C-alpha cells in the first residue's frame, strides 16, 4: 500500500494513491470517524466499476442521536470511488453532531436577527396539509423554529435558516416545542479539502436535485445527448453497462441558471438486470457532469440490484402511501412492468451534442464557486452556506458544509411528501419551452425513482 499501509479491517485489493496518507487517521473500528471501509466485489452481471461502502462512527455519544452513517461511491477509478464513499460518510457524521438547544427558537415575525423568509422556501402546497395524516406543518411567520446562521454568498451577510434544513438527521421533539417543517434530507451536504470545493459540491447538488425533481414531477422530456458526441472516457463507461445488458440514455436537464446538469437513465434488457436506474450530476464543466452522472449511475445500479435480491415487491396502493422512503422508492421500480412509466425521460426527439452545453469553468475553485453563485443569483435566488465541520474533521483538513438555495425544488422521499409548493415547479418548465403542469392537472402520478 506504499509508505503507510492501510490498517487491518479495511478491505481493498489495490494501492489507493495518496489516500493512505489520510485514511489511517480517519479509520478505527471502535473510535474512528470511519469504522468500516469496504470494497464491493463485482457481482456476476454487474458493470465493470469499482464500488465502495463506508460506515461512519456512531454520533450518539456526542449528540444523543445516531447519524446516517453509510457512505458509498462508484467509478471506473478505484481511488475516486473510495474518495466518494469516504467523503459521504464524513459529511453525514459531521452533520449529525449538534445540540438543538444551541439554536434560538423564535417565530420569523419576532426574530431579532436576519432570517430567510418562510415563503422563500419551496415546501408544500396548501392542499397537502388538508390530509389529516400529513406529517408536517405549514412554515409561516408564526412557526416556532430554531434558527442557525449561514453565510450568503450573494450578499456576504449572515442570514439565519431553520436548523432542520441544515443538520442531518434533524429529529423534531415529541413534546411539540418546535414545528416539524419538512423531511430531513442530505441534499447540499458536501465534504472536501477546501472551502471553495466543498461549497461548490454542495451547491451543485442542490442544482441537480432541482433539475431532476422538476423534470420528473412536471414529466418533461428533455433533449437527449448524442452518444457519438461524448468523450472517449464516457463511451468507455457506457460500454461497461451495455456489455452486461443495459441501455443507457443521457439527457441535458439544465435549468434557467444554465449550469450543466446531466441525467442518465439505465434500462435493463436481461433477466437479473435492474429494470430502471436514474442518476444525475451538475458541474460547470459538461464533461465532468457527464462523468459524475455515469459514476452515480453505477452506484445506484448496484443499490437497485441489492434490493432486488433482498426485498419482496410492493404493490401499487392508492396515493402510493406505501412509497415513503428511499428504499420503498427503489422497491417500487424494481417491478419491470413499471419501468415504462419512466420512458418519457428519454422520449424527446430533440438531440444535442455534449459540446453544445456551455463550459463555465474558470480553472480555479474560487472562481468556479463565484461563477455558480452568480448564475444562481441571476435566477433571483440566494445561495447560503452553513459550516458543519466538527473539530476532529477540521483538524484533518476537511471542510464540511451544507448548501441551501431557498426556492430551489427539493427532492423528498415519499410520494405524499413530494414538494408541491414554491414557484419553480409551476414556472420553470414553461420558461424552458415545455408545456409544464398546473395545479388543476397535478404532477406526475408515479413516485420518482431514486437518483
Percent of the chain residues topping a pLDDT of 70: 96
Percent of the chain residues topping a pLDDT of 90: 84
Query: How are beta strands 224-225 and 189-192 bridged, if at all?
Result: unpaired
Question: Residue 258: which region, alpha, beta or left (left: phi > 0; alpha: psi -120 to 50)?
Answer: left
pLDDT in tens, 47-58: 999 999 999 999
Q: Is-contact 54 36, C-beta < 8 A? A: yes
* Whole-number CA gyration radius for the chain: 21
Q: What is the mean pLDDT of residues 116-131?
A: 96
pLDDT in tens, 205-237: 999 999 999 999 999 999 999 999 999 999 999
Q: What is the DSSP letter of 163?
A: G
pLDDT in tens, 343-387: 999 999 999 999 999 999 999 999 999 999 999 999 999 999 999
Helices and strands (H and E) in the chain: how many: 10, 13
Max avg pLDDT among 334-338, 353-357, 431-435: 353-357
Q: Is-contact 115 159, C-beta < 8 A? A: yes
Min mean pLDDT across 4-8, 48-52, 92-96, 169-173 is at: 4-8
Burial 258-293 (b: 16+ CB within 10 A, else e): ebbbbbbbbbbeeeebbbbbbbbbbbbbbbbbbbbb
Domain ranges of the chain: 16-96, 101-201+363-404
Question: Residue 190: which region, alpha, beta or left (left: phi > 0; alpha: psi -120 to 50)?
Answer: beta
Q: Torsions phi, psi of 262, nearest 5? A: -115, 135
The predicted pLDDT at position 44 comes to: 84
| Residue 292 vs residue 18, higher pLDDT | 292
The predicted pLDDT at position 24 comes to: 87
| Residue 1 vs residue 128, higher pLDDT | 128
The predicted pLDDT at position 18 comes to: 55
Q: Which of 162, 203, 199 is nearest to 184 (CA)?
A: 162
Neighbouring CB atoms inside 10 A of 5's CB total 10
The predicted pLDDT at position 43 comes to: 85
Q: What is the DSSP string of 295-331?
A: HHHHHHHHHHHHHHHH-PPPPP-GGGTT--SHHHHHH
Q: What is the mean pLDDT of residues 387-415?
A: 96
The predicted pLDDT at position 62 comes to: 86
Partners of 37 in beta bridges? 54
The predicted pLDDT at position 20 comes to: 65
The predicted pLDDT at position 19 comes to: 63
Amino acid at each position: 500500500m506504499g509508505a503507510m499501509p492501510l490498517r487491518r479491517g479495511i478491505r481493498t485489493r489495490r494501492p489507493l494513491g495518496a489516500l493512505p496518507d489520510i485514511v489511517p487517521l480517519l479509520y478505527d473500528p471502535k473510535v474512528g470517524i470511519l469504522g468500516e471501509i469496504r470494497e464491493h466485489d463485482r457481482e456476476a452481471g454487474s458493470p465493470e466499476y469499482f464500488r465502495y461502502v463506508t460506515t461512519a462512527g456512531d454520533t450518539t455519544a456526542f449528540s444523543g442521536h445516531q447519524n446516517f452513517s453509510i457512505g458509498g461511491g462508484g467509478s471506473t477509478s478505484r481511488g475516486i470511488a473510495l474518495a466518494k464513499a469516504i467523503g459521504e460518510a464524513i459529511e453525514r457524521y459531521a452533520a449529525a453532531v449538534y445540540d438543538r438547544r444551541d439554536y434560538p427558537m423564535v417565530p420569523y415575525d419576532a426574530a431579532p436577527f436576519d432570517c430567510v423568509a418562510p415563503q422563500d422556501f419551496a415546501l408544500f402546497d396548501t392542499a397537502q396539509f388538508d390530509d389529516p395524516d400529513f406529517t408536517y406543518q405549514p412554515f409561516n411567520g408564526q412557526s416556532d423554529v430554531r434558527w442557525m446562521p449561514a453565510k450568503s454568498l450573494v450578499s456576504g451577510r449572515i442570514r439565519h435558516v431553520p436548523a432542520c434544513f441544515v443538520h442531518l438527521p434533524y429529529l423534531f421533539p415529541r413534546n411539540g416545542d418546535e414545528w416539524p417543517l419538512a423531511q430531513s434530507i442530505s441534499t447540499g451536504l458536501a465534504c472536501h479539502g477546501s472551502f471553495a470545493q466543498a461549497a461548490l459540491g454542495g451547491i451543485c447538488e442542490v442544482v441537480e436535485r432541482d433539475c431532476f425533481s422538476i423534470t420528473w414531477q412536471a414529466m418533461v422530456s428533455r433533449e437527449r445527448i448524442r452518444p457519438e458526441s461524448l468523450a472517449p472516457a464516457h463511451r468507455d463507461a457506457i460500454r461497461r453497462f451495455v456489455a452486461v445488458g443495459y441501455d443507457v440514455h443521457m439527457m441535458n436537464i439544465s435549468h434557467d441558471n444554465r449550469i450543466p446538469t446531466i441525467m442518465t437513465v439505465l434500462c435493463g434488457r436481461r433477466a437479473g438486470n435492474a429494470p430502471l436506474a436514474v442518476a444525475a450530476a451538475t458541474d460547470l464543466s459538461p464533461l465532468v457532469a457527464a462523468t459524475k452522472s455515469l459514476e452515480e449511475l453505477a452506484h445506484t445500479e448496484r443499490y437497485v440490484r441489492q434490493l432486488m435480491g433482498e426485498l419482496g415487491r410492493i404493490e401499487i396502493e392508492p396515493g402510493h402511501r406505501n412509497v415513503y422512503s428511499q428504499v420503498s422508492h427503489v422497491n417500487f421500480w424494481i417491478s419491470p412492468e413499471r419501468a415504462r412509466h419512466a420512458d418519457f425521460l428519454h422520449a424527446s426527439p430533440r438531440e444535442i451534442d455534449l459540446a453544445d452545453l456551455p463550459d463555465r469553468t474558470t480553472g480555479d475553485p474560487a472562481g468556479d464557486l463565484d461563477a455558480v453563485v452568480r448564475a444562481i443569483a441571476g435566477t433571483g435566488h440566494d445561495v447560503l452556506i452553513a459550516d458543519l465541520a466538527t473539530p476532529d474533521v477540521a483538524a484533518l483538513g476537511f471542510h464540511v458544509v451544507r448548501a441551501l438555495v431557498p426556492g430551489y425544488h427539493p427532492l423528498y422521499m415519499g410520494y405524499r411528501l413530494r414538494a408541491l409548493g414554491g414557484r419553480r415547479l409551476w414556472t420553470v418548465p414553461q420558461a424552458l419551452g415545455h408545456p409544464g403542469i398546473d395545479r388543476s392537472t397535478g404532477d406526475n402520478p408515479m413516485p420518482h425513482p431514486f437518483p
